[in-house]
Amino acid sequence: MRVLVTGGAGFIGSHVVEAYLAAGHTVAVLDNFSSGSLTHLEGLDLLVVPEDITDARAVNDAVRAFRPEVINHHAAQLSVSVSDRQPLLDAKTNVLGTLNVLEAARTHGVKRVIFASSGGTVYGEASQTPTPEDAPLAPLSPYGISKMTGEHYLRFYQRRYGMVGITLRYGNVYGPRQNPHGEAGVVAIFMDALQQGRSPVIHGDGEQRKDFVYVQDVVTANLLALEAECSSAYNVGGGEATSINQLFKAVCDLRALSAKPVREAPRSGDVRVSHLDLTRIGRDWGWYPQWDLKRGVQATWSVRVATARGATSFSVS
């Protein structure tokens, strides 16, 4: 199968690319490298297109040249706080950029589009937890609004043009390669601070609860989405909600550290509780998270330590 992965040099996208190649698929990556890294793709047999999804012509040319059967759309503006400060920038990338991808897919007969959405933001402060896919979408941030809008556009293209559209609503994804200098990767942020001997920052009281899901579980969902028969939205979470305080303790416990965090004001648009119901994806695809938080955090830490020591390869089981 020929698959174009937008944002394929990023944290999640690069793991998906590796898995697609390992499964025997032909892969191309379209990425502007604003947050992704070419090092994530080193040694891989694929086509890399260094373009931005906000450039409609570039996206169209890439799809026309590569002729994918599937587009896996991960490229996005990822920051909730940036979206709060710059909603036009967020919409340009996450709404207009997504439309560019969908238009290119329509024009060149792409049969399937997989869209990476955000279960951690599109539901807002859900009245029901765990939150199922048919719960009302009430995002609190422009980022959540733009992801919700992308979902709606995907459904329109599905109805109007007959393509298969699958939305994956991720919880808080963590794992190796996550950028510790953004805001979304709290596991990477905590680990980086502790490795550097700094006190990690916790916004608010730390009792906000998130649904943390290890990146390899997310990869499995993306593999299944290549051939799944159901066109729908699917939650992809870790199966439980963990407070930021609990997460901080879990990271500190890896090396028996007794560090104390710095407390700062809550962030605008941050959802207090995110806990995703996984019934639909389990029923339709037989997908269930295989990595609990303890095991996933340990694996992430081990890879960070190995990378810091200059290891060129590693194995996590």
Residue type at position 138: A
H or E element: which one contains 102?
Answer: helix 97-107
Which residue's structure tokens are 């639909």? 280
> How many angstroms separate the CA atoms of 140 and 100, rounded?
25
Kindly name the residue from 143, 157, 174, 214 that is annotated as catalytic.
Answer: 143
* Catalytic status, residue 143: yes
100 token code pair:
């560019």
CA distances (Å), 37 to each of 22, 28, 175, 312, in order?
A: 20, 15, 16, 16
Exposure string for 132-152, b = 16+ CB within 10 A, e = fewer: ebebebebbbbbbbbbbbbbe
Residue type at position 289: P
> How many angstroms separate the CA atoms of 198 and 101, rounded?
41
Contacts of 185 (CB under 8 A, 6+ apart): 11, 174, 178, 179
DSSP 166: E
Task: Name the residues annotated as catalytic.
Answer: 143
